[in-house]
Amino acid sequence: MNTESTEAKITAWLATQQQAMLDVLADLVNTDGGSYDKAGVDAVGARIKAFCESHGLKVETVKGERFGDCLRAILPHEGTAPTRGNHAANIVLMGHRDTVFPKGEPERRPFTIKDGRAYGPGVADMKAGLVMNMFVLAAFAKFGGAPGPMVGLFTGDEEIGSPEGRAVIEEEARGARVVFNSEPGRPSGNVVTGRKGGVFMVFDIEGKASHSGGNFQAGISAIGELAHKIVAIHALTDLERGITLNVGLVEGGQSVNTVAPWARGQIDLRYVKPEDREEVMAKIHEIIGRSYVPGTKARLTIKGEFNALTQDAAAKKLFGLYQGAAAEAGLKVEGEFSGGCADSGFTAQQGAPTICAVGPVGGLAHSPEEYLEISSFVPRAQAVARAVLRLEQAGL
């Protein structure tokens, strides 16, 4: 097989697709799809499915119960390829379809283009990455040359911690050869080679109500207990090790003249090293289990979680391969560490060599100013395509 000419064909074809990419992107951005809007996230999925099927890919749907379905766009491979378990290992291009925006946002703020940048809800995070993945898959379907089976995984609930998507992602990762996660490239153009892990928790405290004027001593203040717990939890922060704790939401109480019968806090824990998670979680459990105000009781619930993205030897190889491929597309790319979490942590912890933020470059995600650098669309797609073609040479 003449991979050089396949590479030339694929990169040349991608170079002609910028307008087509923008057209699909406009459709996806203008389709509402906040994480809790299953119908919307699935409508975005229907557009992706139609595109993939019309470009020679087979699309499988893994039904989501409360959140968007997961879609697997499959490009099979004939011939030998490295295996994982008892099947050929998949080259996975991954991305999430949900956004953080409330219903109606695309109507208020539809897709627009100004001075080389595109705007609209989720334009960079990460609908442009989805479109890039779709076009890279379409290119391999059209010209062949992939060194193994490819899968485009389009999930539906990343912005809320992937409560349903996680199992599908982990299953995919266990059979993956490599994973490219197309979160937006950093404003500098860099990709992400390390991310913090995160645990999102809520704790509920039970006290006892009583009139704070007439019967003060009969009360047990859940809010008093909440205050102690917040101080103790925040004290677990260790900036040098990259461990942070933030009680970002609190509520509780009944009225100003009632000793508070209940209180609640929500905790965001971030860490760098997977082993630090257990150590900090043990301390949090101890704080939640202890009663600073005698008579209170408390309970901790984990609401969501992301694993840390760590870089093993194979992931380092993948980064080196990508960096070289990007350079040929005219991009200077370094690896950055991010405190933000993403699905790439799940794939890395399943042992799949993973690189994150290979999507088109953008910034100010989760805000109305979110933008995409249009000129990065084609070269970022070419970089991923080239990296895929050279997996074997890189020993991946």
Q: Which residues bind Zn ion (CB under 5 A)?
A: 125-126, 183
Shortest Cβ distance from residue 169 to Zn ion (Å)? 13
Nearer to Zn ion, 156 or 261 (CB): 156
Shortest Cβ distance from residue 99 to Zn ion (Å)? 8
> Computed from CA positions of residues 172, 51, 60, 57, in that sequence, does the dihedral angle turn out positive or negative?
negative
Shortest Cβ distance from residue 177 to Zn ion (Å)? 23
Q: Describe the strand order of the beta sheet including 335-338 as a list of residue ranges.
A: 58-62, 70-75, 150-155, 90-96, 176-181, 354-356, 191-195, 335-338
Nearer to Zn ion, 323 or 338 (CB): 338
DSSP string, 200-220: EEEEEEE-B-EETTTSGGG-B
- Measure CA 245 to chain center: 20
Nearer to Zn ion, 261 or 359 (CB): 359
Nearer to Zn ion, 157 or 225 (CB): 157
Shortest Cβ distance from residue 372 to Zn ion (Å)? 13
Nearer to Zn ion, 298 or 341 (CB): 341
**Identity (one letter) of the amino acid at 185?**
G
How would you class 18 by CB atoms within 10 Å of its CB: exposed for 0-12, middle for 13-18, buried for 19 or more? middle
Nearer to Zn ion, 11 or 344 (CB): 344
Q: Are strands 354-356 and 176-181 parallel, antiparallel or unpaired?
A: parallel
Chain position whose Cβ is nearest to Zn ion: 125
DSSP state of 310: -
Three-class SS of residue 26? helix
Helical axes 128-143 vs 38-54, angle rounded to 10°:
20
Shortest Cβ distance from residue 98 to Zn ion (Å)? 9
Rg, C-alpha atoms of the chain = 23
Nearer to Zn ion, 276 or 305 (CB): 305
CB 342 within 8 A of CB 195: yes
Shortest Cβ distance from residue 96 to Zn ion (Å)? 6
The token pair at 181 is 């996660």
390 sits in which H/E element: none
Q: Which residue has the tokens 């060599």?
A: 353
Shortest Cβ distance from residue 14 to Zn ion (Å)? 23
Nearer to Zn ion, 125 or 172 (CB): 125
**Identity (one letter) of the amino acid at 106?**
P
Strand-pairing partners, residue 70, are 62
Shortest Cβ distance from residue 163 to Zn ion (Å)? 15
